[in-house]
Structure 1
């Protein structure tokens, strides 16, 4: 249930972003599908767009006029003709900047949804604020062993200023084993303390495990500060950016081998987590929706042919070359890109299955 409430609306919103901007620029849509594969139900509107629900609910697509398939590969009849023939409602005959905006609209819509959720939380509940002051230590604390004392105010980590305890957490939690130089204020003096974050396997109430960085410091109590509409949007945008940078860091750690590829998750794991968050209540679930919405935007903006980021990469090349990439080059890139996407889907799904308790993981 949580999975359907999560992925269905997010995919629909993503594709609706493409559709609305396409409509704004006069591009005709042949099909709007939630899911892939065989059509289960649908109808055709007065503009000729086929709205349908398809068998495989792992995504969706808008097929504009001139698209050969759901990946928006151009039909052979429109290849290379964007600057040679008048615009007739075909996506591939629209001006380059319009095509780029139509493609970017999908991920942008997901980002807007996440910002709206975080901004609504900030206005309704407030922004959590905790001073970066050491209030205590855990039983095993590398910070205490390194010389940190209760009452110390953390001012910087590796030369990067911090003004809130959450900023300290953001610099430590995603980076197990990271070497840190902590600057603290103690009785009016500045003290520099080198620390190496512990690598700790943390287990949540549902039994999900994750490897995190930890130094064993506890803060004093904090407060919630009410924000107005503009400040809430600014705060929400900064939270989205923070989450995105964590995703980039996590992906970099997997590529470099600092994290296991087993930490990658797919649709089964998303379904599991969404159900767990829904069981905790509406607010935790909505927060999880925002997180997945950012994740969906991030993945789609990767420069892989077949994804939105791949199309944008082609348009960037077209802007530099002043002509589209050749048909053969596009075909090869799309084939390789789709093979990568399908291969990744198979891999993360296998990861998800092997992580189920029945397999002893």
Structure 2
């Protein structure tokens, strides 16, 4: 019995070692996302009926002075804000008969009776707050710890690698990748790791002269910072302390904010690029995981320290923000697509077309959820 309790409740066990970090990561990301919807919706004068972390049966909650029910529910895999007039937690539009049932006061603050700009601002606020969370986390991390970097040098070239075939030599210094200037070795990795199978042009500095070579990155299994095996694109070069001259860049608060905005922009761009390549089958399917993978990574990050857990929150927040902007109902991007059509044609999308869109979108979302669960359990 003692062994069982220790396995579950020690810091290395399931509850404290995995479940608690997982709930922390997911709750923070979901809370910030839904708070974006809530705050901007309230600012636009829209009534809010419920703010929920989780789905399913309510565990506990309370009503505030505005009549909003704040609650924590049993299934901690998301959350929602339900506005006045919403027919479901996905903010589906009420039919004509349902609108007729609203009182005059409710109609005035109902979500679907508001101008397009108010509805669009409220919807886009969720992903936007996710990005702002990432910026805030990176700003604090850069302010406290700085940013460790290596000079973009080549200490070793792997035999038979794309770099060797391209003629890259030890002692070369990266200047640019596909025209993008690089200042650190991490810049080179970032520009290469999502481009497996793409022919890239590298500008190298050798003996004081710039030369240009072409190499095609290949997928290779490596171990990430948390200890997970992952496939990333590489060209087969290695840096070291002697040539890389490791140092830590320190920032003022304003400088940290600027670096955080840049880092977040790179994370958004990289995630978007990955999804584009994934759709056409050019990325490893095991790079996508669901709740089980997130729980595992949360536990691994927690063991390395709280700062690692917070960084995981930042990166997951970017992913959640981008996924929600995909133009698929019932995601935020699907709502924005309907609003864009309404703005162009000066009339709302018909109830029939909207219903068809929601059904098709829900099928895609459920299919995606099934795919990542399969990856978590059996596929990878």
The reply to whether TM is greater than 0.5 is yes
SS in 1 for 2:29: helix
Instruction: Note closer, same or farther for the CA distance 1:293–1:77 as it changes in structure 2 (3 Å cut).
Output: same
SS in 2 for 1:60: strand
2:180 alignment partner, one of 155, 160, 183: 160
Q: Deviation at 1:345?
A: 1.1
- In 1, the alpha carbon distance for the partners of 2:95 and 2:285 equals 39
The equivalent of 2:127 in structure 1 is: 107
In 2, are the aligned partners of 1:154 and 1:185 still within 8 Å (CA)? yes
Q: Deviation at 1:212?
A: 1.2
SS in 1 for 2:372: helix
Moved more, 232-241 or 290-299: 232-241
Matched, 1:128 2:148: yes
Matched, 1:150 2:150: no
Q: Deviation at 1:329?
A: 1.1
In 1, are the aligned partners of 2:204 and 2:210 still within 8 Å (CA)? yes
In 1, are the aligned partners of 2:196 and 2:233 still within 8 Å (CA)? yes
Cα deviations across residues 181-204 of structure 1 (Å, max 9, x unaligned)?
Answer: 222122222222222323211135
The equivalent of 2:11 in structure 1 is: none
2:333 alignment partner, one of 309, 313, 317: 309
Q: Give TM-score scaled by structure 2 length.
A: 0.86
2:66 alignment partner, one of 44, 47, 70: 47
In 2, are the aligned partners of 1:27 and 1:90 still within 8 Å (CA)? yes
The equivalent of 2:314 in structure 1 is: 290
Instruction: Note closer, same or farther for the CA distance 1:247–1:206 as it changes in structure 2 (3 Å cut).
Output: closer
The equivalent of 1:96 in structure 2 is: 116
Superposition pairs of residues 1-361 of structure 1, within 5 angstroms: 1-77=20-96, 88-138=108-158, 141-204=161-224, 208-219=228-239, 220-355=244-379
In 2, are the aligned partners of 1:274 and 1:285 still within 8 Å (CA)? yes
- In 2, the alpha carbon distance for the partners of 1:208 and 1:305 equals 33
Q: Deviation at 1:140?
A: 6.3
Instruction: Note closer, same or farther for the CA distance 1:262–1:199 as it changes in structure 2 (3 Å cut).
Output: closer
Instruction: Note closer, same or farther for the CA distance 1:265–1:105 as it changes in structure 2 (3 Å cut).
Output: same
Instruction: Note closer, same or farther for the CA distance 1:232–1:79 as it changes in structure 2 (3 Å cut).
Output: farther
In 2, are the aligned partners of 1:114 and 1:290 still within 8 Å (CA)? yes
In 2, are the aligned partners of 1:178 and 1:213 still within 8 Å (CA)? no
Instruction: Note closer, same or farther for the CA distance 1:41–1:323 as it changes in structure 2 (3 Å cut).
Output: same
The equivalent of 2:5 in structure 1 is: none
Cα deviations across residues 207-264 of structure 1 (Å, max 9, x unaligned)?
Answer: 6321112223233122112112222222111111111222122222222222243432
Instruction: Note closer, same or farther for the CA distance 1:168–1:78 as it changes in structure 2 (3 Å cut).
Output: farther
Unaligned runs of 5+ in 1: 356-360
Unaligned runs of 5+ in 2: 1-19
Say how many residue pairs are matched: 353
Cα deviations across residues 237-292 of structure 1 (Å, max 9, x unaligned)?
Answer: 11111112221222222222222434321111111111111111111111111000
In 1, are the aligned partners of 2:165 and 2:215 still within 8 Å (CA)? no
- In 2, the alpha carbon distance for the partners of 1:129 and 1:334 equals 46
CA RMSD of aligned residues (A): 2.2
In 2, are the aligned partners of 1:113 and 1:293 still within 8 Å (CA)? yes
Q: Give TM-score scaled by structure 1 length.
A: 0.91
